[in-house]
Each structure stands twice: as C-alpha cells, then as structure tokens.
Amino acid sequence: MDPINHRSLITILRQSFDETLAAITTQEKASINVVERTTIEAQEFKTVICSIASSTFKMNMLLHYSNSDAVIDSFFDTIKSDIRGDKKNQYQDYISELVNNLCGTANRILGYAGFSSGMSTPATLNISNSTKHMEVIAPDSEVHIGCFLEGEPLFFGSLYLFINKGFESSLILKIPEAAAECEASGELEFF
Amino acid sequence: MAKVLVVDDSSTVRNEVSSFLASNGIDVDTAVDGVDGLAKIQRDPNLKLVICDVNMPNMDGLTMVEKVKALGKTIPIIMLTTESNPSMKQRGKDAGVKGWIVKPFNGSAAIEGIKKLIS
C-alpha cells in the first residue's frame, strides 16, 4: 500500500465527511474518526455505494448505515432539515443524497488535484458484508472512518482505490495540497 | 410574491431547499424530475426562478434547460448539483444556465444571489 496514496484517501474521505456533515448537521454533536475495517465488519449494516472513475484509477465510496429506529431518531435529531412523511423512507432518501454529496466532494477534490474523473449515482447494495466483497476484488488501498454522535456510531464510510493495470507504479494522488485549496461547496457561481 | 421552482429527484433536497426559501419569505413549488419541471414551467406564469438538479431520472436537468430555451422561455435557471466538472458547467452555460451551486446546499451562501435573480 503506497503511503502517499493511503494518506490521500484519508484526506479525501475525511474532508468529504467534514464538508457534508457541516452542511447538514448541528456539527457540535458529530465527530469523525479513522477506524479499522474490523470495526465495520463487527456490526450489521446496510450499504450504499457510489463510484468515481478516471482513465488511471477507480474509487468506490461506501456508506455503511443501520436503519434501526434508535439510529434513525438520533439522525433526525441531529440534521437541520424537517421530517416530512414516512421517517424510514425519508431516511433512505437522505442516506442516498448523503452518499451523492460525499462522492461529489471527493470528485471535486480530485478535480483540484488535476485528475479528470466522473462519478456514478448512488446504489444500495443488497448484501450484508460489503467489505468482504470489496476485499475479493482486491483494492490497491482502502481507508475507513466512523461518524459518531456523542460517542455512539451513526454510520461508517469506506473509500477503496483501484489503480488501473499499467499505472500501478506511476499513480500518486497528491491530495492534501489540493484539498486545502479546494473551494467550499454551496456558493452560487454566476455565469 | 415571487415563486421559485425546485426540481430534484431527492425528496431530501426538495424539502431542505424549500424550507430554507420559505423561511426567507419566498413562495416555492417543487418538481420531481425534468419532465415534471418542464410542465410546471410551461403552465405557471408566476415562477421567477428555477433551481434544478443535473442528474435525474426521466429527464436530466440540462436537457430540461435546453427544452425551456427552445420554448422561448427566459426564466433564469440555476443548477444545484454535485457535478463540478468544467465540461458539465460549460454545457450549462451554453444552454443558458444563469448560475451553478455545488451540493451540499448552503442556503446562507446562496440566498443573496437567489434574491437578486427574483427581484
């Protein structure tokens, strides 16, 4: 595992979560920490996946979440939006939009670093052990973080890097500098 | 009162943006995709601004913008999307889009521009 790429993946994942959570939650309640994959594997989660692809690499971003009533209540207690209609349906929609925003932020950071990449729309995986499935397709690097509310896990994020054949020795993601320069989201840019 | 149409396939985004605009005294209608948005633009003369997602089922946001332009409508449209790719923005400019907001939506960062467009 290349240490520069590993650090870059942590930066991308952490900044994506920081920016997105700052926009949707009352931030003082939420904290984000790097975790080991085993922390995620120890629990039962549903997973939403979104991919970023370029000519030299592919990234899979996964959001692992519980849809227990207790977690959903904690979640809606923390976000800024109103609840309208069925809480579980809205939670599912919110999770998909969250992954869309996380992947969009990651793709924007990669753009600032000079990579030309496109992203997919989020999809829910109908499997219970998504990290095992990712292991089977052999990523070149992976990082995981957890989002905690007052010490209790709310959801976890994983970012997997797959370097396209032939670029294994040459692809170096120089992300920390790019992430610092990356403009914040949410501003209205006039044309 | 000025009315804004929010077009997004995510109910979360429709709720979030609508609530924010309503709290700023702006009347809001919503549409679930480009087809729904185009129909509402054609039949509601009170709309002063459209805030529209790019990636949606049935009809994407930029195709909707191109169809609005083809109908001769001059209503300002701004895109609210995770897309920040320069080529995608250029397609928006070419279609007549007035502005671009990269998600997640930050109302306080965008409200002055929105008010300027509906005034």
The pLDDT of residue A178 = 62
Q: In the block, which residue shows the tokens 């990712």?
A: A134
Domain count, chain B: 1
Contacts of A163 (CB under 8 A, 6+ apart): A56, A57, A140, A171
Chain A residues touching B78 at Cβ < 8 A: 188
Q: Does A190 touch chain B (CB under 8 A)?
A: yes
Residue of B nearest to A188 (CA): B101
In this complex, the residue of B15, B55, B81 whose CB is nearest that of residue A82 is B15
DSSP characters over B50-63: EEE-SS-SSS-HHH
- pLDDT confidence tier of residue B65, bands split at 50, 70 and 90: very high
Is A55's Cβ below 8 Å from some Cβ in B?
no
- Which residues from chain A sit within 8 angstroms of residue B9, using beta carbons? none
Residue B35 belongs to domain spanning: 3-118
The model's pTM is 0.86
Question: Percentage of residues in chain B with pLDDT exceeding 70?
Answer: 100
Q: Three-state SS for B65?
A: helix
* Coil, helix or strand at residue A135: helix
* pLDDT tens, per residue, chain A with 191 residues: 677 888 889 989 998 888 888 777 765 667 889 999 999 988 888 999 999 999 999 999 999 998 888 888 887 877 766 666 788 888 888 899 889 999 999 998 898 888 889 999 999 988 878 888 888 889 999 999 998 887 888 899 999 999 998 887 778 887 766 666 666 677 888 98
Q: CATH number for the A3-179 domain, one of 3.40.1550.10, 3.90.79.10, 3.40.50.620, 3.40.50.1820?
A: 3.40.1550.10
Q: b vs e for A25-46, b when ≥16 Cβ sit within 10 Å of the residue's Cβ?
A: beeeebebeebebebbeeeebb
**What is the pLDDT, as a whole number, of residue A48?**
95
Domain ranges for chain A: 3-179
The verdict on A97 touching B (C-beta cutoff 8 Å) is yes
**A165 Cβ contact partners less than 8 Å away, ≥ 6 residues apart:** none
- Please report the number of interchain residue pairs, chain A to chain B, with beta-carbon separation below 8 angstroms: 94
Q: How far is A38 from chain B (nearest CA, A)?
A: 30
Which residue of B9, B11, B82, B88 is the best one to mutate when testing the A interface, meaning the one whose CB has the most A CBs within 10 A? Answer: B82
| A80·B106 Cβ contact <8 A | no
Closest CA to A117 of A160, A54, A50: A54
CATH at residue B83: 3.40.50.2300
Q: What is the per-residue pLDDT for B6? A: 98
From B78, B84, B113, residue closest to A111, measured CB to CB:
B84
